[in-house]
Structure 1
Amino acid sequence: MAGYKAPLRDMRYVLYDLFDGASLTTLPGYEEFTADLIDPVLEEAAKICEDVLQPLNRPGDEEGCVLENGVVRTPKGFPEAYRTFREGGWTSITCDPAHGGQGLPQVVNTFIEEMICAANLSFGMYPGLSHGAYVALKQFGTEDQKARYLPALVDGTWTGTMCLTEPQCGTDLGLLRTKAVPDGEGGYKITGTKIFISAGDHDLTENILHLVLARLPDAPKGIKGISLFLVPKVLVTEEGALGDRNAVTCGALEHKMGIKASSTCVLNFDEATGWLIGEPHKGMRAMFAMMNTARLGVGVQGLGLAEASYQGAVAYARDRLQGRSPSGVKAPDKPADPLIVHPDVRRMLLTQRAIVEGGRALAAWVGLALDRQHHAGDPATRAEAGEFVALMTPVVKALLTDLGSEATNLGVQVFGGHGYIREHGMEQYIRDCRITQIYEGTNGIQALDLVGRKLPENAGRNLRRFFHPVADYIEARLDDDTLAEFVGPLAKTFVRLQQATAQVARVGMTKPAEAAAAATDYQRLLGFTALAYLWARMAELSLPKAGTAEDNDAFHSAKVATARVFMERLLPQTSGLFATIMAGGRSLEAFPDAAF
C-alpha cells in the first residue's frame, strides 16, 4: 500500500502566509500560540499519523470489526494505537483547559484532523465522534454533567457517540420513535433502536457516552418534540467511578462499503438510564451543535482522503513505465516512459493536486473563522465570523467530500487495473470516501440547507460575509496585469455567482421547488468561487517568490503552476453550473412519476 507523508510544508504556507497565522496570538486565550508552539504540534501529529495510524489502515480494512457474544472488537493494533493516541493528548487538542483540554486553535486542529483522516479514517472516527459529544455536552450540559463526564471525554478515557438515526427515519427526524420516560429520580428510561451509530460500541475504552435523541411522553409531534439525553454505556457513580452496565446493547454491526475498521452499530436501548441535556423538546439545538462540528470534520475527511490518494498516484506515476510520450521519448535509457509524462495522467494528477491544495485553504479559512467566532474580544467580530461559518459549513461539507470522491477515483484511474485490485490500497480510499457524501446530512441536504436557510438567514448577512471580501479583492486587483490570468477568471465566476444568487432568491420566494432543483449546482458554484478566490490569493503570494533563491525547493513555482491548472481546467465548469441553475427545475418537475 502507498505510504503517507503529512504535507506540513503546504499546511504552514496556508496558515502563516495565506492567512497570517501569527495573528492568532491577538485573540484572547491564544496569546501563546506562536509558530514556535504550533509547528512542533503539527510535526508530532505527522509522526503518529505516519508511523502509527497509517500502517493500520489497510489491515484494519481487511479485518474489520467483530461482534461476538455481545462484545465488539476493533481490528488488531487499534486498542494499542488508541492508547498511544490518547496518552499523547490528541483527544484534547482544542478542548477547554477548564476540563483538561489543551485549548489549541481550531485551525490547527483542522490540519491535524486532515492528517488523521488521510492516514486512517476508520481510526479517526472514534475520537472524532467523541469531540462532537464534547461540544454538545459542554454547551448544553448542566454543571454537574460537565464536571462528571467532560474530563474523561476530553482525555479520551471515555468516548462518545451521537445517536440520531432509526430504521424508519434518517434525514426526517420528525419520524423518530425512541421514548424517554421519567423514572421519578431525576433521570429517564430510554427505549428504542438506533442504527448507523458510528463508534457505537468497541474495545478502545471502558465507557461510551451516548447522546440520544428521544421523545418525552408529552412531546409535540415532529422535530419540535425531540429531546437530547446522555446515556452512558456504563453508569457512573456519584464519586465518578464506573458502576453497573446500563441497558444499552449492540444488536449488530453494519457490513459496509468502507470505513470497515470503524464499528457502525445497531444500538438497542431497553429502558436504559439517561439524563436530559438542555431543555425538554429542544434537543435539536444541542444536536445541531454536534452536527455542525461534525459536518466541518466530514469535509476534512474528504480532503484527507484526496491527499492520500494523490500521494499514492504520484508515486506510482513516477515509477510505472508505460508507452512513450506523445511529444517524444523522455526516458531513452528505459524500455518505456514513466506514466507521469503522459498528458492525460498529468491531467488527473494536477486535478487531484488543485483539489487538495485549494480544499486545504478553504478548510483553514473556515477554521480560522471558528477561532474568531469563539475567541475574538469584539462581539461584532464574533458575530461576523459566526455568520461566515454558518454559510460555509454546508459548502465545506459537500464540496470537499464531492471533490474528495472525484479525486480518489482519479487516483485509481492513474493506477489502471492495479488500482482496481486491493494490493495497492487505492480502491480503499474510494470506498472510505463514499460515506462522507452521505453521513451527517447528505450533500443534497447540505445544498437545501444552504439555499433554504443559510442564504436568507440573518437578513442575508451570512452571504455578505463571503461576497464582500471577494468583491473587495477583485476590485483592488482587476487592473493588475501580473494577476490578470487569476483575477480575471475569478471576476467572471463571481458575476455568475451573483446572478445565480439573485435567481435562486427570486424563485425561492414563490417557487421553492425551483430553488431546491438548483440547490446542488448553486452550492458547487459558490464552493468553486471560494476556491477561485483562494487560488488567486495563493498565486499572488507565490508569484514574486517563484524561481527566486527563496524558492529553492520550487514550492512557489509549483503553487503558481497549480493555480493556473485550477483557473484553466477546473474553474470553467462553473459556466455549466450557471447554465443549469438558470434553466430552472421544469424538466425535473415535468417528468411523470409513472415513467421512472
Structure 2
Amino acid sequence: MPSYKAPVEDVKFILQDVLGIDRFNNLAGFAEASPDVIDAILQEGAKFCEEVIAPLNLPGDQEGCTRHPDGSVTTPKGFREAYRAYAAGGWMGLAAPAEYGGQDLPHTINTVMQEFISSANLAFGMYPGLTQGAIAALLVHGSPDQKRTFLPKMVEGAWTGTMNLTEPHCGTDLGLLKTKAVPNGDGSYAITGTKIFISAGEHDLSENIVHLVLARIEGAPAGTKGISLFVVPKFLVNGDGSLGPRNGVSCGSIEHKMGIHANATCVMNYDGAKGWLVGQENRGLNAMFVMMNEARLAVGVQGLAQSEVAYQNAASYAKERLQGRALTGAAAPDKPADPIIVHPDVRRNLMLVRAFNEAARALVLWAALSSDVAHRSEDPAERQAADDRLGLLTPVVKGVLTDLGFENAVRAQQVLGGHGYIAEWGMEQFVRDARIAMIYEGANGIQAMDLVGRKLPKDGGRALMAFMGEVEAFCRENGAEDGMKPFVEPLAKGLEQLQGATMWFMQNAMAKPDNAGAGATEYMHLMGLVALGYMWGKMAKAALARKAAGDGAAARMDAKLVTGRFFMERMMPEAGALARRIRAGSDAIMALPAEMF
C-alpha cells in the first residue's frame, strides 16, 4: 500500500524564506495568515490528507464509481464520509469571501492544500477543486441573485460545482458546440444538448450539483462569438433556498478511463433543463475562462502532486530494497545485498524527480501569490504586473508541470522495477492518474500555442520582458555572492537561450506561422526550465541565508543546495537542446503529405 507525507516544512520554507509572504500583509486576508495560522492550517491539512484521504486512493481506484439504472452515481466506499469531513473542516471555503461563509485567506494557502489533497488522492481532490473553480466564476460574473442562491452552499461544501464545455464533436474548438438555449419567457432558458468528459458530473457526495454550462442561444452568431454561459443546478432551488424538483439534467453514462477511476467522468444529457444566464449574452467564454484559468493552474499543481507522491514511494522503496552491490564495494556488508539507493542510476532518477518537485512547488506558489496580488492589491501598477506574470505563467505551469509530472511518475515507477508494474504497490496508478493532467483543461500542445501565439505578443510583450528582466536582474545582483555562482551562471545561460529563441520567433514566425507551431512546445519547456531554474536560484539564496543564521536547519539547507546544484548541472543544460530544436523550424515537420502518415 503506497503512503504519503505532506511536505509541510518545504512549503513553509518557500512561503517564508523564498517568497517572503509576510511582506504582503498589506493585502486583504494576508494579515490574518500569520505564521502561527499558516502552520496550523498546514499541519491540520497534512493530517487530513495523510490519514483520511490517502488511504482511500488505491481502493477507490480499484472500485471506481458506479452508475445505476436511474442515472444516479455512487462514489467508492469511504468517499462520502471523507467529503463530509472535508466540508465540515471548512476546507472548501479557505480562500472564499467571508460574506459567503468563507475564511477569506490568501489563494496561496489554498494552493498548498490543493497540492496536498492531489498527492493524497487526485480523484477525490477533483470534486472540491472543480467546485472552487465554479465559485470563482460565479464570484466574477454571477448576478447578485445567483451569488446569494448558490455561493453560500457551495462555499459550505453542501453543494458542488462542475464545468460543462466539451461535446462529442468539439473539444478545443468550442465554436463548434451545438448545445442550445431557448428563452423560457421568465428569465430562465431551456438548455438542451449533450456534454462529455464532465468530471464530477454526477455523484453522491453533495446535496446538489451546480453545473456551469456553455450553450448557444437561438439566433446567436456562429463560432465562439455566439457562446453564452448558464448556471444549471441538478435540483432547482426554491425561493427560500430549499431544494425543489429535479432539473432536466442527467448522467447518461460514466466514461471508462485510463485513470482517476474514483472521479465520475460523465456524459451529461440536458433535456430542456432550466438554466440562467451568467454574465452577458454571447460572452460565455469570457466568463468561463475565469474557471478555466483556475483549473489550468490547479491541473499544474496536480502534475507536481503526482510527481511528489511517486517520488516519496520510490525513495522509500530504494532505501529498503536489497539488490546487488555498490560499484565502490559493499555498502552494507552485513546484508546479502545493498539497498538500491547506492546505485548511481537509481539516484539519478530520484534526483531528477526531487529537483523538479522542489522548484515546481516554488513556481506554483509564486504563481498563486501573483494571483493574490492581482486580485487584492490596491496599487494599480502592482496589480497589473502580477496579472501579467500570472497570465504568462499559467500555460507554463499547466503544460510543463504536467508533462514532467507524468515523466517523473514513470521514473519513480522504474525505481521499483517489476513491483512498479504491480497494482498493489500503487505506482502504476500514479502513472495512470498523472497522464490525464497533460490532456484535460486544454491539452498541452494548446497550452504551448497559447503561450507563443497569445501570451508572448500580448501588450507588446510586456509580461515576457518583465519576466526576463526579473531573472536577468537576479543573476546580475547575485552572481558575485559567495556560494551563488553554481546557480547563477547556468541560470544566466538558460536565460540567454530563452532570449535567443524569442528573437528567432520574432524573426521567423510572422512570415511563416508554422515555425511558431513547430517550436511552441519546446519554447514552453524552455521557459519552464528557466522559471524552475529561477526558483532554484531564489531557493539557494534563501538556503544560504538560513545556514548563515545558524538556526539548526543546516542539514536541510545543505540538502537543498545539493539538489539545486544537481538541477543546474544535469537539467538546466537541456535549455541548449530546446533552443536548437526551436531554430530547426517547421520544414521537416510539415514536409510529408498527409497521405504519407
User: Which residue is 2:239 aligned to?
Assistant: 238
Question: Does 1:209 find its partner at 2:201?
Answer: no
Q: Which residue of 2 aligns with 1:428?
A: 429
Please give the alpha-carbon distance, in whole angstroms, between the structure 2 residues aligned to 1:579 and 1:516: 15
For residues 393-412 of structure 1, the aligned pairs below 5 Å read 393-412=394-413
Counterpart in the other structure of 2:38: 38
Other-structure match for 1:523 = 524
In the alignment, is the contact (CA less than 8 A) between 1:547 and 1:554 conserved in 2?
no
Of 316-325 and 19-28, deviating more is 19-28
Deviates more, 1:407-416 or 1:498-507: 498-507
8 Å contact from structure 1 (residues 321, 338) kept in 2: yes
For 1:127, the equivalent position in structure 2 comes to 128
Q: In the aligned structure 1, how far is the partner of 2:138 from the partner of 2:21?
A: 29
TM-score (normalizing by structure 2): 0.98
Amino acid at match of 2:361: R
Q: Deviations over 1:529-564 (max 9, x none)?
A: 011111112112223545985345610010000001
Q: Deviations over 1:248-277 (max 9, x none)?
A: 010000011000000000000000100000
Q: CA deviation at 1:502?
A: 1.1
Q: Deviations over 1:44-69 (max 9, x none)?
A: 10011000000000010000000012
Aligned length: 596
CA contact (8 A) 2:501 2:582 kept: yes
CA contact (8 A) 2:547 2:553 kept: no
Match of residue 16 from structure 1: 16
Under a length normalisation based on structure 1, what TM-score does the superposition of the two structures give? 0.99
The residue aligned with 1:305 is: 306
Q: Deviations over 1:147-186 (max 9, x none)?
A: 1111001111000000000000001101100000001111
Aligned to 2:360: 359
Deviations 1:455-483 (A, max 9, x none): 11112111123112101111112334532
Q: Deviations over 1:366-388 (max 9, x none)?
A: 11111110111211101110011
Separation in 1, partners of 2:3, 2:351? 19
Q: Name whichever of 23-32 and 147-156 sits farther off.
A: 23-32
What are the equivalent positions in structure 2 for 1:171-570 lying under 5 Å apart? 171-480=172-481, 482-546=483-547, 550-552=551-553, 554-570=555-571
Report the secondary structure of 1:482's partner residue: coil
Letter in 1 for 2:154: L
Q: What amino acid is the match of 1:132?
A: G
In 2, the alpha carbon distance for the partners of 1:493 and 1:473 equals 13
> Unpaired segments of 5 or more residues in structure 1?
none
Q: Is the 8 A contact 1:234 1:245 kept in 2?
A: yes
> What secondary structure, in the 3-state scheme, does the structure 1 residue paired with 2:112 have?
helix
* 3-state SS of 1:554 partner: helix
Cα 1:552–1:238 change in 2 (3 A) is closer
Q: Indicate conservation of the 8 Å contact 1:248/1:267, yes or no.
A: yes
Contact 1:547 1:557 in 2 (8 A): no
Equivalent AA in structure 1 for residue 17 of structure 2: D
Please tell me whether the aligned partners of residues 546 and 553 of structure 2 are also in contact (alpha carbons under 8 angstroms): no
Q: Where does 1:53-202 land on structure 2 (aligned, <5 Å)?
A: 53-69=53-69, 70-202=71-203
Partners of 1:550 and 1:149 in 2: CA distance = 48
* C-alpha separation in 1, matches of 2:132 and 2:487: 38
Offset at residue 397 of structure 1 (A): 0.4
CA contact (8 A) 2:198 2:265 kept: yes
Mapped partners of 2:491, 2:281: distance in 1? 48
Quick check: 1:65–1:260 contact (8 Å CA) kept in 2?
yes
Q: Which amino acid letter does the alignment assign opposite residue 3 of structure 1? A: S
Asked whether the equivalents of residues 54 and 119 of structure 1 are also in contact (C-alpha less than 8 Å), the reply is yes
1:429 CA drift (Å) = 0.4
Deviations 1:349-378 (A, max 9, x none): 111100100100100111111111011121
Partner of 2:231, secondary structure, is strand
User: SS of 1:30's equivalent?
Assistant: coil
Amino acid at match of 1:536: G
User: How far 1:484 moved relative to its partner?
Assistant: 1.5
Change (3 A) 1:546 1:318: farther
Secondary structure of the 2:423 match is coil
- Which amino acid counterpart does residue 357 of structure 1 have in structure 2? E
Assess if the C-alpha contact under 8 Å between 1:551 and 1:557 holds in 2: no
Q: CA deviation at 1:29?
A: 3.7
* Cα 1:551/1:329, change in 2 over 3 Å: farther
SS of aligned partner of 1:26 = coil
